[in-house]
Amino acid sequence: MAVFAAAEAPLRARQVCEAMDLEIAPNTINNTRLKLKRLVERGILAEIEQGLFTHPQP
């Protein structure tokens, strides 16, 4: 969540991986995307466009 708090714009899964110093590989990016989508389902994040994640708007 700190990655999104520090971000000035919505992020893609690859950008989240880069910000968290994770390996930039297709498998890592896909796993991160799945986790972000789960956070969207729980209302913690919002997906404003396909593959573009941010904090939900109040």
Pick the closest to residue 2 from 23, 22, 19 (CA basis).
19
Question: Distance between CA 1 and CA 45 in Å, rounded?
Answer: 9
pLDDT of the residue at 58: 66
- The hierarchical CATH code for the domain 2-54 is 1.10.10
**The pLDDT of residue 7:** 85
For residue range 2-58, what is the model confidence (pLDDT) as tens digits?
A: 888 888 899 999 999 999 999 999 999 999 999 999 999 999 999 999 999 998 876
Question: What pLDDT is recorded for position 34?
Answer: 97
Q: Give the residue extent of every domain in the chain.
A: 2-54
For residue 56, what pLDDT is reported? 80
Tell me the C-alpha distance between 48 and 56, whole Å.
9
